[in-house]
């Protein structure tokens, strides 16, 4: 199974039932199918980095415990850090609040030749801001189209954008939060505020539905990823990323003829000293 992008203008209904895709492979089969994709991904990244003519921006959004960190480690953990940067957007600082809400995001857009991963993103300004009523409705309601135009500008300047909403059920989130509390390697992540946010499940679900409906575009599509099963989640995302990089078709630059001539000279001379050794 392959994910399909949300068609612009499509009505979205997020339910617990569609947090699991019964057609997606289970753990062992998913891992087997994921392995060749994880081998292919670094090669595509290397070509993208060498070419340095285009960039890939991957946006990860989802409710707490939906798996943004785990997916990033599994799918993108083998990439060369020179050409892959993960950016997380927490509560804005006073310095950032003194500027427009997209300012700090624009600073983190990946330069040509690189892959950028946003662990949360500019969409917090139509999610958290909306749910907690941090700004008036007349302010955040204008941001959908502002974001669409921002993303369009990026794509017209060499940035390919993929946006993934990691969709989990309320019961699965509860289990993961309990597991997080019990695990000494993870319980540092747990905040009292996580429980308060969980009480706003319906508000966040509605906010995400509106985001998906109003900001999935031909140039920056959203993908809804069933995420109750971690390995099938990783597989579905990896397929989209690899397929997209294949379509982008990064090419290694042509080697300078002078460099080729030096290499040929070294080959002719075998292990002897060439001009570069003198």
- The CA distance from 10 to 162, in Å, is 17
* 239 contacts: CB under 8 Å, gap ≥ 6: 2, 3, 37
Mean pLDDT per 10-residue run, the chain (278 residues)?
Answer: 92 96 88 97 98 98 96 96 95 96 98 98 98 97 98 98 98 93 82 84 98 98 97 97 98 86 84 50
- Report whether 49 contacts 108 (CB < 8 A): no
The pair of structure tokens assigned to 116 is 């950028």
How far is CA 96 from its chain centroid? 22
Q: Tell me what pLDDT residue 74 has.
A: 97
pLDDT of residue 271: 53
What is this structure's pTM? 0.92
Q: Where are the beta strands (DSSP E) in 84-221?
A: 84-88, 115-119, 159-167
17-277 belongs to which homologous superfamily?
P-loop containing nucleotide triphosphate hydrolases (3.40.50.300)
Domain boundaries, the chain: 17-277
* pLDDT at residue 276, rounded to an integer: 45
**Reduced to 3 states, what is the DSSP secondary structure of residue 59?**
strand
Q: Are 265 and 274 in contact (CB under 8 A)?
A: yes
In this structure, are residues 180 and 187 in contact, taking their beta carbons and an 8 Å threshold? yes
Bridge partner residues of 60 (DSSP): 119, 164
Q: 224: Cβ–Cβ under 8 A, 6 or more apart, which residues?
A: 3, 6, 12, 14, 18, 165, 167, 212
């Amino acid at each position: 199974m392959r994910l399909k992008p949300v068609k612009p203008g499509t009505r979205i209904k997020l339910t617990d039932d569609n947090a699991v895709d019964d057609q997606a492979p289970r753990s062992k089969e998913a891992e087997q199918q994921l392995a060749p994709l994880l081998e292919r991904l670094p090669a595509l990244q290397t070509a993208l980095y060498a070419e340095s003519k285009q960039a890939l921006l991957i946006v990860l959004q989802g409710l707490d415990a939906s798996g943004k960190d785990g997916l990033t480690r599994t799918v993108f953990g083998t990439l060369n850090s020179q050409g892959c940067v993960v950016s997380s957007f927490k509560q804005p600082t006073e310095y950032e609040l003194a500027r427009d809400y997209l300012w700090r995001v624009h600073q983190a857009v990946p330069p040509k030749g690189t892959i950028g991963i946003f662990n949360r993103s500019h969409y917090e300004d139509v999610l958290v801001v909306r749910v907690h009523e941090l700004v008036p409705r007349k302010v955040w309601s204008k941001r959908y189209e502002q974001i669409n135009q921002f993303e369009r500008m990026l794509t017209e300047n060499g940035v390919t954008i993929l946006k993934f909403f990691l969709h989990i059920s309320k019961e699965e989130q509860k289990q993961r939060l309990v597991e997080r509390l019990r695990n000494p390697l993870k319980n540092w992540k747990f905040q009292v505020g996580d429980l308060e946010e969980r009480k706003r499940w319906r508000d966040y679900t509605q906010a995400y539905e509106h985001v998906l409906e109003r900001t999935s575009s031909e140039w920056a599509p959203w993908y809804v990823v069933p995420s109750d099963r971690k390995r099938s989640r990783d597989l579905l995302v990896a397929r989209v990323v690899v397929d997209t990089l294949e379509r982008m078709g990064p090419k290694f630059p042509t080697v300078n003829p002078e460099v080729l001539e030096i290499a040929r000279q070294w080959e002719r001379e075998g292990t002897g000293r060439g001009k570069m050794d003198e």
